[in-house]
Chain A
Amino acid sequence: DAGVIQSPRHEVTEMGQEVTLRCKPISGHDYLFWYRQTMMRGLELLIYFNNNVPIDDSGMPEDRFSAKMPNASFSTLKIQPSEPRDSAVYFCASSLGDGETQYFGPGTRLLVL
């Protein structure tokens, strides 16, 4: 398996623009996680899905953030409108079970100007 795939790897956008991050989990993994990492706040769990259903989105910072998982092989994290404070590295991870090993993608480095 190719591992968790994320796209794009880098994104530079202007404040107010819509940003869409994409993730393809490892085939057969039932759990998918979205994280945000910054120097100030460390690694934050934004939302996670089980069998394509959002289970806990309490980490989503604001209504500007939304995430979907239309099928077992694809998820998106959308920020609309984006703000400079959203600049961070966004990671997607997947796992077989809820307490099991998480496999991380390479991340998307987002810069909002």
Chain B
Amino acid sequence: SQQGEEDPQALSIQEGENATMNCSYKTSINNLQWYRQNSGRGLVHLILIRSNEREKHSGRLRVTLDTSKKSSSLLITASRAADTASYFCAVSGGSYIPTFGRGTSLIVHP
């Protein structure tokens, strides 16, 4: 199975700014998912985007997928202090079982 790699490893912004984090992978995928993990908690699913989709929205979240570049991005608009968390991408390839990356640690300063 393959693993997605998030970039950057850490991101620090001010409340109200947009936050963008990226995920790259190596081989073809069936879908890609983004999860959030607050400190000391389990991961929470945010968005699943399938390989034939290019963009999905959920509230202040926008996910794009570029299969030609083998990359995805997660955009959080108008960030809030409550968005402070680690964000993980999970890619599902031939084995379908999602494999998680190391995550991006986002800090949003009030």
Residues of A within 8 A of B (CB): 4, 35, 42-43, 45, 48, 56, 91, 93, 97-107
Extra inter-chain contacts (9) besides given A43-B100, A45-B100, A98-B97, CB under 8 Å: A4-B42, A42-B103, A43-B103, A91-B42, A91-B43, A98-B95, A99-B92, A102-B33, A102-B90
CA distance A51 to B48 in the complex (A): 23
CA distance A42 to B35 in the complex (A): 14
A contact residues around B88 at 8 Å (CB): 43
Q: For the complex, would chain B's binding face be called helix, strand, loop or mixed by DSSP majority?
A: strand
Contact present for A56 and B44 (CB under 8 Å): no
B contact residues around A106 at 8 Å (CB): 41-42
CA distance A106 to B97 in the complex (A): 21
B30 adjacent to chain A (CB < 8 Å)? yes
Which of chain B's residues 74-110 have a Cβ closer than 8 Å to chain A? 88, 90, 92, 95-103
B31 adjacent to chain A (CB < 8 Å)? yes
Can you spell out 13 A-B residue pairs with CB atoms less than 8 angstroms apart?
Answer: A35-B100, A42-B100, A42-B102, A43-B102, A56-B97, A93-B43, A98-B97, A99-B30, A99-B92, A100-B48, A101-B45, A102-B90, A102-B98
Contact present for A102 and B43 (CB under 8 Å): yes
Tell me the smallest distance from the CB of A64 to a CB of chain B, in Å: 24
CA distance A104 to B41 in the complex (A): 9
Size of the chain B interface, CB-CB below 8 angstroms = 22
CA distance A45 to B15 in the complex (A): 34
Tell me the smallest distance from the CB of B57 to a CB of chain A, in Å: 17
Closest to B45 in A: A101
Tell me the smallest distance from the CB of A35 to a CB of chain B, in Å: 8
Closest to B47 in A: A101
CA distance A104 to B92 in the complex (A): 17
CA distance A104 to B98 in the complex (A): 13
CA distance A81 to B105 in the complex (A): 34
* Residue among A4, A97, A99, A102 with most chain B CB within 10 A: A99
Tell me the smallest distance from the CB of A23 to a CB of chain B, in Å: 11
Interchain residue pairs A-B with the least CB separation, the first 9: A104-B42, A99-B96, A99-B92, A98-B96, A42-B102, A104-B43, A101-B45, A43-B100, A106-B42
